[in-house]
Structure 1
Amino acid sequence: MKINRLLNNNVVVVKEGEEEIIVMGSGIAFGKRKNDIISPDKIEKVFVMKDKVEYEKFTQIIDQLPEEHIALAEEIITYAEKVLKTKLHEHVHVALTDHVSFAIERKKQGFQLKNKLLNEIRVLYSAEYEIGLWALQFINDKLEVQLPEDEAGHIALHLHTAKLNTYTMDETVSTTVLVNELIQKIESKLGVKVEEDSISYQRLMTHLNFALRRVSEGKPFDDVDHDMNELVKEKHKSAYNTAVELGHYLLESYEYVLPPSELVYLTLHIQRIQRNNGEEV
């Protein structure tokens, strides 16, 4: 491989045909110039950024951010792809690198941003969250900078949205916020606090997340037998009325339509919460 462009001591661009390939490795470009040959044993990572806009953003980040921060982010991305067993969207090289570097700088300056969606992220994106925790320990091991657990949540969101064919960061955050809002409405209606580490909380949150995804994508829901529908409505009137209220709220505020079958499933989740809190069902 011949160097087409030097980005820093650890990152170069090579060209194969019309395709520009980013090659990374510790000291891979030290003392090198354009058209010099790269030593294969120096290569640690190779990837292609086909989106020209993302490519330019990445080269700008490399110019602006500390090399050690870039290396850390790339290690996290490599680890995430291995654990998740999927190739992450190329945008993650820009978004996650920028976020990790900014988080490290904030910590050094004594600033800390709370992640208000941490509990939701921990449940909805558990695999990505565990990688986020690994990333915090990895950063601390390398730089002796202990980032707060809130950052594991932020990293998880970046990884989740970077999965190929998944949602944008805005869509992911919006859905997570709405799930949190609906749970608060259920708690307010029932006059209870759902324990965040309970199975009921995790099941309800996961169900709401998938339901909202299906509604937003226009995907069909599973049908419920008519007799089962009527039985649930009659046996768990209070829970069903709460589910109906949530359905009205989603329709009026977001134009989301929950089908009757979904109201039944939601009723069963709400009923379980009532039962666990010793209320009449």
Structure 2
Amino acid sequence: MKIYKVLNNNAAIIKEDGQEKIVMGPGIAFQKGKNDTIIRKKVEKIFTIHEENEKFKQILETLPENHIEVAEEIISYAEGQLSAPLSDHIHIALVDHLSFAIERIQKDLTVRNKLLNEIKALYKKEYEIGLWAIELVKEKLNIDLPEDEAGYIALHIHTAKMDAENMHTTLKYTTIIKELIEKIESFFDQKIDENSISYQRLVTHLRYAINRFESNEAFHVMDDDMLYFIKQKYPISYRCGVELADYLKTEYELDLPESEIGYITLHIQRLNDL
């Protein structure tokens, strides 16, 4: 395996089977140049260069090497924790985001993550990886990233999962849920405890309800007698559920069936029972 071009100490371009490929591994290109040999067993990742990876090549050439190393360590840790490979795009998206976040901190600029509470509830495992990541940045780079960044890292990791929706869709869903939570808080004129299990269950239920629209899945049907009982037993929570449904229809053209309003009513009532 011969080097075609050195990108940094840990990455180089090779030509193999008529294709340019990016190879990565700790120190594989240190003090090496064109036509020098790389030992294959030291290579940890290989990417065939196509249009998207051209950006990755530019990142490897221009961003600080220690930023790239930390991002790659986070990706490897995430794949281990999730027991699944992440898409190649994560090597562009996370490296780029992390380096920019570090640059902002060094300039005393902070960006608040308004979706943090919803991210915690919806993507718990990815959020825990995000917390681990900001600790790693502190350890390796002596940079204190805020908790908000754990949320952003969680989103990047979630959307890199092979069966996940893209970042635009993820942000859309999370934003809708945040708006619905704010509607509930406004309706009852009280703040919801984001650490409660009832809040987490509500957020998760709303997430899957919205997803059913996008994937054209059928909603669970509630027995008519049960729906009647809910309306009579919890009229205020049901009225709140109806307002949420009206909002989704008006703002997003998402038309909730009445049985789904019933299920949401039960989740809203659990919040008020605490």
TM-score where L is the length of structure 2: 0.94
The aligned runs of 1:199-238 (5 Å cut-off) are: 199-238=197-236
Moved more, 191-200 or 18-27: 18-27
Shift of residue 194 of structure 1? 1.1
Letter aligned with residue 59 of structure 1: K
The aligned runs of 1:65-84 (5 Å cut-off) are: 65-84=63-82
Counterpart residue number, 2:9: 9
Q: Distance in 1 between matches of 2:257 and 2:14?
A: 53
Q: Distance in 2 between matches of 1:135 and 1:219?
A: 35
Q: Distance in 2 between matches of 1:234 and 1:20?
A: 68
Shift of residue 63 of structure 1? 1.7
Shift of residue 32 of structure 1? 2.5
Q: Distance in 2 between matches of 1:148 and 1:49?
A: 35
Letter aligned with residue 163 of structure 2: N
SS of the residue corresponding to residue 146 of structure 2 reads coil
Counterpart residue number, 1:97: 95
Shift of residue 204 of structure 1? 1.0
Moved more, 87-96 or 18-27: 18-27
Unaligned segments of structure 2, at least 5 residues: none
Pair 1:35-2:35 in alignment: yes
Pair 1:117-2:124 in alignment: no
Q: Distance in 2 between matches of 1:260 and 1:18?
A: 59
SS of the residue corresponding to residue 56 of structure 2 reads helix
Counterpart residue number, 1:85: 83
Shift of residue 62 of structure 1? 1.2
Matched positions, count: 274
Does the 8 Å contact 2:5/2:13 carry over to 1? yes
TM-score where L is the length of structure 1: 0.92
Change over 3 Å in CA distance of 1:16–1:110 after alignment to 2: same
Does the 8 Å contact 2:25/2:45 carry over to 1? no
% same residue: 51
Counterpart residue number, 2:241: 243
Q: Distance in 2 between matches of 1:266 and 1:41?
A: 54
Counterpart residue number, 1:159: 157
Letter aligned with residue 207 of structure 1: H
Does the 8 Å contact 1:136/1:146 carry over to 2? yes
Counterpart residue number, 2:124: 126
1:185 to 183, 186, 208: 183
Change over 3 Å in CA distance of 1:18–1:211 after alignment to 2: farther
Q: Distance in 2 between matches of 1:246 and 1:205?
A: 13
Give 4+ residue runs of structure 1 displaced > 6 Å after superposition.
Answer: none
SS of the residue corresponding to residue 4 of structure 1 reads strand
Does the 8 Å contact 2:2/2:15 carry over to 1? yes
The Cα offsets for residues 204-263 of structure 1, whole Å up to 9 and x where unpaired, read as 111111111112222111222222122212222221121112111111111101122211
SS of the residue corresponding to residue 34 of structure 1 reads coil
Change over 3 Å in CA distance of 1:136–1:49 after alignment to 2: farther
Q: Distance in 2 between matches of 1:14 and 1:230?
A: 68
Change over 3 Å in CA distance of 1:214–1:154 after alignment to 2: same
Q: Distance in 2 between matches of 1:79 and 1:20?
A: 27
Letter aligned with residue 236 of structure 1: Y
Unaligned segments of structure 1, at least 5 residues: 277-281
Letter aligned with residue 94 of structure 1: I
The Cα offsets for residues 251-279 of structure 1, whole Å up to 9 and x where unpaired, read as 11111011222111101011112222xxx
SS of the residue corresponding to residue 82 of structure 1 reads helix
Does the 8 Å contact 1:54/1:90 carry over to 2? no
Does the 8 Å contact 1:179/1:208 carry over to 2? yes
Shift of residue 20 of structure 1? 4.1
Counterpart residue number, 1:59: 57
SS of the residue corresponding to residue 269 of structure 1 reads helix
Does the 8 Å contact 1:49/1:90 carry over to 2? no
Letter aligned with residue 199 of structure 1: I
Q: Distance in 1 between matches of 2:229 and 2:107?
A: 59
Does the 8 Å contact 2:71/2:98 carry over to 1? yes
Shift of residue 72 of structure 1? 0.8
- CA RMSD of superposed structures (Å): 1.6
Counterpart residue number, 1:47: 46
Change over 3 Å in CA distance of 1:80–1:20 after alignment to 2: farther
Moved more, 266-275 or 94-103: 266-275
